[in-house]
A = this chain, B = another copy of it.
Amino acid sequence: MGFAENLEKLHNIDRESRHLERVVTLLRWDQETYLPEDGVPERSEQLALLEGIAHQRRTSSETGRLLSELGSTPENPRGDEKLPPLEQDFLKTLRRNYDRALMLPGDFVSAAARAEGLSQAAWINARRNNDFSSFLPHLTKMIDISRKKAQYWGFENNPYDGLLDVYEQDMGADAISAVFTPLAKRLSLLIKKISSLPRPDNSFLDEDFDIENQACFSRDLLERLGFDTNRGRLDISAHPFTTTLGSDDVRITSRFLPRLLLSGIFATIHEAGHAFYEMDFPSELRGSCLADGASMGIHESQSRLWENVIGRSRSFWESSFPVLRSYFPSTLHPVKVADFYRAVNLVEPSLVRIEADELSYSLHIILRFELEKELFSGSLNPAELPAAWRKKMKEFLGLEPETDTEGVLQDVHWSMGAFGYFPSYALGNLYGLQFWEKLKSDLPQSEQMITGGNFAPIRAWLRDTIYVWGRRLAPQDLLKTVTGNTLSSEPFLAYIESKYGEIYGF
């Protein structure tokens, strides 16, 4: 059989994998949005069955055979060099996914899935009852499983490197530390400085904001950002998320609570940033494993860029605040846009990551990264986590949680064994500003565009410069290709210092 035929077969297998993944995603999306309460247990069985079928197909020997026929091996994943570059990237990505799936024995995968289910349930209870000790055996188990996973996959120095690689290819713990450690110092100092300055007034947000109106404003905002509702939707869920159910079916969720006006707005913008990335991959990648984000960190750079750099900018609220005010005329009538801008950028260290401001956010992440690193190097025992958490929290943000619920138990990630995921959030902040610098030099009028509510040129730039690559490049290669630079926190810090210096007057 010829190359062309083998390649077509492989593309078909890949396309079908994508279809199955998206069916699984629909089951999950529906569970978060519309599934009646009592339907949950049976939904888990449907999911388990579908995921079993998907795993079987992902690891079918047919895929391995076709990859080999096309010259792709673990040592030379890109396959025969006569193939066009796009096909070589395709083979490389498929090879990576295939090898990784095969490296985990089937019974290990199902045992891990079962342990994860129990661990998540235990975490929910532990968090509710502020009882870390009841979660400890599960946490220990999840760490063991992750360590084993890293061993199956292989790693450079520390098993933690093997886990990080899942979310951020080729970024080891040392490379991340080299950036995160000085970043943490600079951010801590800045926060200390700001805390000694007068606090902007945001008492006008301490009101009840009708949630129907909040939802309408969010829909209005999405329309102004150019979110295409023929290819996506906004729904409500307890925790906002973005999900891709098809090349032309990208859905986001948000949540609206009467006393948290800002929370719903920025959740919508954040998820829209993820959705734009997913919606605008180039058509030649459609349906393939290359129609995906370059990494979790790069994906997060897109959501954070829209949420913070654009969404929390003065230019953005120049045009958006009058619209927001029209939805809440009585409450927001007396508020000036300048005061609203300061309120959405209030720096106020708190204990909880998901409520953190733009400055403290990265510190919440670096704290988790450092603890994960110590856990996997063996220098920190899981039982010592609550104390270590409190110590670092004090060091980074000057706060100490009174309970583990507000401390080490606050996030779901560890209960799911998702060690190595957290750094993506802070990396996203850094990548985002590196991209933004380049965008501003290519589009010198970007600020005026935002003020005028004209987001199309910005979306086009992101599409043609970043999304166009899909998952063809590893994150660091994408960064280099787009910006010409390697990972750096300088653009982020320069942006933070200039923006907050102006707001707080230092």
Using a CB–CB cutoff of 8 Å, the interface residues on chain A facing chain B are: 15-16, 19-20, 22-23, 26-27, 30, 34-39, 41-43, 45-46, 49-50, 53, 228-233, 235, 245-249, 251, 287
Interface residues of A, dominant DSSP: helix
With A and B bound together, what is the CA distance between A469 and B50 in angstroms? 30
Which residues of B sit under 8 angstroms from A247, Cβ to Cβ?
42
Contacting A230 at CB < 8 Å: which of B37, B43, B248? B37
Which residues of B sit under 8 angstroms from A37, Cβ to Cβ?
230-231
With A and B bound together, what is the CA distance between A27 and B19 in angstroms? 12
Are B36 and A249 within 8 A (Cβ)?
A: yes
Residue of B nearest to A29 (CB): B30
With A and B bound together, what is the CA distance between A50 and B20 in angstroms? 8
With A and B bound together, what is the CA distance between A251 and B233 in angstroms? 21
Residue of B nearest to A45 (CB): B19
Which residues of B sit under 8 angstroms from A39, Cβ to Cβ?
231, 245-246, 248-249
With A and B bound together, what is the CA distance between A427 and B426 in angstroms? 65
26 intermolecular pairs with C-beta atoms under 8 Å apart: A15-B45, A19-B46, A19-B49, A19-B50, A20-B49, A22-B46, A23-B27, A23-B46, A26-B26, A26-B27, A34-B34, A34-B235, A35-B249, A36-B229, A36-B232, A36-B248, A36-B251, A38-B228, A38-B230, A39-B245, A39-B246, A39-B248, A39-B249, A42-B246, A42-B287, A43-B246
Which residues of B sit under 8 angstroms from A45, Cβ to Cβ?
15, 19
Are A38 and B233 within 8 A (Cβ)?
A: no
Which residues of B sit under 8 angstroms from A231, Cβ to Cβ?
36-39
With A and B bound together, what is the CA distance between A50 and B26 in angstroms? 13
Are B34 and A233 within 8 A (Cβ)?
A: yes
Are B38 and A249 within 8 A (Cβ)?
A: yes
With A and B bound together, what is the CA distance between A53 and B27 in angstroms? 17
